[in-house]
Structure 1
Amino acid sequence: FTLLVNSFDADRLVAIPGAGAPVECTEISADITVAFDRICVVPRPPETGRMKIRLVPVKDGRRGRPETLFVELP
């Protein structure tokens, strides 16, 4: 599935699913990226229920504060 994320101008953004490999998020190429500036394509696990994803920004070579979100999978 796809997540649209505002990385607050991070140089890189990595999405880390609870039970999977980290995913490098890519920049959205648009003239205006006020709301969302990154797209993360996270493989959907076969299980249903709640999936935990950590978003880790990197700016100027330094790791930023990670954010955790939960996605309900039907």
Structure 2
Amino acid sequence: MAVTEASARADVAELLYLEPGELDDGLNLFDAGLDSVRMLTLVERWREHGVEVSFVDLAEHPTFGQWWALLSDA
């Protein structure tokens, strides 16, 4: 199964206890409550689906819009 924008949004929203539609592309995910343990969970989940993205890349780009740009390029 490929990682799509909708599935990535749902993954992130789940860990922030939001509905996917509530996850704004410009929201700083760390300000919204995402921590390093949850971020590692996402990295591993996405790697299982063949997306090579690093923890550091995500940490340096804290919004979902930036994350999707990284994921879609990977």
TM bin (shorter chain): under 0.3
Normalised to the residue count of structure 2, the TM-score between the two structures is 0.23
More strand by share: 1
Higher helix content, 1 or 2: 2
| Bigger radius of gyration among the two | 1
